[in-house]
Chains A and B, each alone.
Chain A
Amino acid sequence: MKKLMLGNEAVARGAYEAGVRVAAAYPGTPSTEITENIAKYDEMYSEWSPNEKVALEVAIGASVAGARAICSMKHVGLNVAADPLFTVSYTGVNGGLVIMVADDPGMHSSQNEQDSRFYARASKVPMLEPSNSQECKDFVKAAFDISERFDCPVIVRLSTRIAHSQSIVEINKRQNDELKPYVKDPAKYVMMPAMARARHLAVEKRMAELKAFAEETPVNTIEWGSTDIGVITSGISYQYAREAFGNVSYLKLGMVYPLPDKLITEFAAKVGTLYVIEELEPFFENQIRKMGIKVIGKDILPVTGEYSASLLRQKIFNEAFEKSYDVDVQSPVRPPVMCPGCPHRGTFHVLKKLKLTVTGDIGCYTLGALSPTESMDTCICMGASIGMAHGMEKARGREFGKKTVAILGDSTFIHSGITGLIDIVYNKGCSTVIILDNSITGMTGHQQNPTTGFTIKGEPVKQVDLALLAKAVGIDRVRVVDPFEIKEFERIVKEETEADEPSLIIAQRPCALLKNVRYEGPRMINENCKKCRSCLRIGCPAIVDKGDKIMINSALCVGCKLCTKLCSFNAIVKAGGKND
């Protein structure tokens, strides 16, 4: 049977067909749908872990226990999981272990565009890279075979355009889902110096074997066309190259680490001009140049952003682009915004009013940095807000600290905020941390987390009590407040930033997109409006400045009534069904 599938959905299918029994992940665009789709199969246990490090450790445990296991994350998630990665490379596996990592060239939804291929080389772990959904499925299955044959974890790298493109996939049956026996083997699984030294030798031997395997594996393919030009490429870059170059010869590397030196040398010898087409870093190119082969690559192609067929045509064949239509009008940009009814809007209104320095974090609320709220000073990585607020206070003193708050979401706090909070208590900081608790992991599309009370399968479960947790680590000042009660919220933020000890404010209001959140329906602005524009300060996409009047877009307004609290003239009222 054939089916149209997202790359991520095909990975999930591949895991199913490969007999995977355990899957763990932390959500992160563009990898999230892998585990969401795995959760639809009853044959596989799946979970949202608190972060990528824990997710990988869960998968390693499952593998050592004899199950095939898969762990998925976005590129920056692999930074978090790097610690176990480098050592599970030494221990190797029992049941096959596959790590999915989704890079984001062009940064559609990320804070950087790091190239994960370097992790494969640095941790001495083989890496595969599919170029469409069918290969997503096939390569995941191949990765499990490689993992068990060579006793190592295998990384499969996706990029946004592979993860989030649908193409046709042939569906097969599930196989290999028996548990392997568990045998206690400290020499292999307890990495103390004496054991690890022996394992490092095993890793080097394995790398030599994998290098030989790369020469023969069917995931590396050659398509012969005209030999005037040869192209070495992989993944999505192959698709762009195929369109830009047409009928030339291609060496498509399905295995991006280690590289097949002989295959590359032979291919290079048979073609005229040789191009290396790879998004981001010159990962292939530098290795191929080191082999003494002349190539064209990053000397004309960028290391930043996404590629496309037309970019290749322009850079390589100097093709000029001709406009198809001459409609010369500047289009104002349409940046993403917080949704109508978003609980974060109340928080940012108050933070802006108090002119605080705000160390921010990763989530929907990062949008608070944009106009008109513009109340975020920093955003580095998951959980960084807390450590950075503490660092700012230590650098500039208590008075500066009183004008500084850290903000982060509930899921982000669980991911890597707790240790930062402990640091503040332990090292005598006085920072104020605000957890924006919207009862869900929002930005990645509503995943459950340890604070929501539900598992990935929607089963009810104990919730982390954030207030109790803060008290347990030594925060005596814990406040819980609704961010839409803006006066009370402002008062509390003032009190807590003034206090000479650390505080935690839990700003609690659920995401407006959650099914159980029901507001009263659209508002409208009546004749009482004095056009003071106070309501526009919160940056709600439903409130529109028409110049001569302010209007509420009834198709967008959910009726959260935050704007009514800013109006001194009672001009915002329930829309009386006139528009319907």
Chain B
Amino acid sequence: MTDLNIMIVGVGGQGTLLASRLLGNVAMKQGFDVKVSEVHGMSQRGGSVVTYVKMGEKVYSPIIEKGEADYLLAFENLEALRWIDYLKNGGTLVLNDQQIDPMPVIIGKAKYPEKIIERLREGGVRMDVIDALQIAKECGNIKSVNIVLLGVLAKTSNIAKEVWLEAMREVIPQKILDVNLRAFDAGYNGTKDTSKA
């Protein structure tokens, strides 16, 4: 197989860790070597968080570097912008169209950049944009944003849907499994391609 690098970026508390663990599980089921690298502690407190998932024949460094990500899974617009350099040419940005103001913006010391999606598109970024928060709400759990986005990613990836579902059944606790399976399907079926600028 060819190596696959997926980067997950967002704001602490958005559920990026569960998404990366699910991805790790999916990779293992495929028989790939895999590494998932996360950050805990200080970096989680509502700060910018980033998780790396690398799979392939043999994975050495757990870190994805600039220009190396096949997929950038962004849970928030500003974070997509911040990490866009990590996406490789021809890679895909899967973006949850949501704005969470960082503290410098909240207290008026900085401005939240305008028209992020348009500017990314003008920069030639191929992307799938989705309002995962709204979809998660409709599926019954506002916290399922991460699973909606995985659904979008699953659709664009070459990995069979059943592998994803199996990984979810193993990793997600029984009592919240149904709502998450719905969220996954909504992401899988719901995205429209907005890459053609």
Q: List 18 A-B contacts (CB under 8 A).
A: A161-B62, A165-B35, A236-B62, A239-B62, A309-B60, A321-B67, A323-B85, A324-B66, A325-B85, A325-B87, A326-B124, A331-B82, A334-B79, A337-B47, A337-B103, A338-B46, A541-B46, A544-B105
B63 near A326: Cβ-Cβ < 8 Å? no
Q: Which of B11, B62, B66, B87 has the most CB of A within 10 A?
A: B62
Q: Does B119 contact A (CB under 8 A)?
A: yes
A495→B143 CA distance, assembly (Å)? 45
CB distance from B142 to the nearest CB of A (A): 7
Cα of A330 to Cα of B65 in the assembled complex, Å: 20
Is B125 positioned at the interface, with any CB of A under 8 Å from its CB?
yes
0 or 1 for each of A17-39: is its CB under 8 Å from B? (1 = yes): 00000000000011011000000
- Report the minimal beta-carbon distance from B100 to chain A, rounded to whole angstroms: 8
Number of cross-chain contacts by CB at 8 Å: 190
Residues of A bordering B, CB below 8 Å = 2, 4, 29-30, 32-33, 108-109, 132, 160-161, 164-168, 236, 239-240, 242-243, 308-310, 321-327, 329-339, 364, 367, 370-372, 443-445, 536, 539, 541, 543-545, 553, 555-556
Contacts known (A167-B34, A239-B61, A335-B47); A326 close to B106, Cβ less than 8 A: no
User: Is residue B4 contacting chain A, with contact meaning CB distance below 8 A?
Assistant: no
User: CB within 8 A of B35: which of A2, A167, A335, A367?
Assistant: A167
Q: How far is the CA of A544 from the CA of B101 in the complex (A)?
A: 7
Is B172 in the interface zone, CB < 8 Å from A? no
Does the CB pair B65–A338 fall under 8 Å? no
> Is there an interface contact between A309 and B24, defined as CB atoms closer than 8 Å?
no
The answer, among B24, B111, B120, for a CB contact under 8 Å with A166, is B24
- Complex contact A332–B110 (CB within 8 A): yes
Contacts A164-B40, A536-B106 known; A336 to B45 CB distance under 8 Å? Answer: yes
Query: Cβ of A337 and Cβ of B24 under 8 Å apart?
Result: no
Picked from A108, A167, A445, the residue with its CB within 8 Å of the CB of B39 is A108
Flag B94-112 by CB within 8 Å of A: 1 or 0 each: 0000001111111111111
B131 CB-CB contact with A under 8 Å: no
Interfacial residues of chain B within 19-54, with CB under 8 A of chain A in the complex:
21, 24-25, 28, 33-48
- State whether A2 touches B41 (Cβ < 8 A): no
B177 close to A (CB within 8 Å): no
User: How many Å from the CB of B23 to the closest CB on chain A?
Assistant: 10
Nearest opposing residue in chain A for B88, CB measure: A324
Tell me which residues across on chain B come within 8 A of A330, comparing CB atoms.
Answer: 113
Q: How many whole Å from B27's CB to the nearest CB in chain A?
A: 8
In angstroms, how far is the closest chain A Cβ from the Cβ of B126?
10
A480 and B45 alpha carbons, distance in the complex (Å):
27
- B59 on interface, CB distance cutoff 8 Å: yes
> What 7 pairs across the A-B complex have the smallest Cβ distances?
A109-B41, A29-B41, A336-B47, A336-B45, A334-B102, A332-B110, A327-B123
Q: How far is the CA of A335 from the CA of B44 in the complex (A)?
A: 10
- The contact of B37 among A32, A165, A310, A371, by CB within 8 Å, is A165
Closest to A540 in B: B106
- Asked if A371 meets B104 with Cβ closer than 8 Å, knowing A165-B62, A310-B66, the reply is yes
Q: Known contacts A161-B62, A327-B84; is A367 also within 8 Å of B38 by CB?
A: no
**Residues of chain A within 8 A of B46, CB atoms compared:** 334, 336-339, 541
Q: Given A168-B34, A325-B84, decide whether A543 and B104 contact each other with a Cβ distance below 8 A.
A: no
Contact in complex: A2, B63 (CB < 8 Å): no
Q: Which residues of B contact A132 (CB under 8 A)?
A: 35
Task: Determine the distance from Cα of A370 to Cα of B42 in the docked complex, in whole angstroms.
Answer: 13
Please encode chain B, from 68 to 92, with 1 for each CB lying within 8 Å of some chain A CB and 0 for all others: 0000000000110110110111010
Q: How long is the Cα–Cα vector from A553 to B133 in the complex, in angstroms?
A: 14
Of all chain A residues, the one with the shortest Cβ separation from B78 is: A331
B190 on interface, CB distance cutoff 8 Å: no
Tell me if B81 and A327 are in contact (CB < 8 A).
Answer: yes
A403 CB to nearest B CB, Å: 25
The answer to whether A545 and B108 have CB atoms under 8 Å apart is yes
Q: Is the CB of B124 within 8 A of A325?
A: yes
**Across the interface, do B125 and A334 meet the contact criterion of CB distance under 8 Å?**
no
CB-CB < 8 A to B11: which residues of A? 334
Partner of A443, one of B39, B42, B81, B88: B42
Asked whether A309 and B87 contact (CB < 8 A) given A161-B37, A335-B103, A443-B41, the answer is no
Q: Are A332 and B108 in contact (CB under 8 A)?
A: no
Is B12 part of the binding interface, using a Cβ–Cβ cutoff of 8 Å? yes
Chain A residue, CB-CB nearest to B86: A324
Contact call B38/A168, Cβ cutoff below 8 A: no
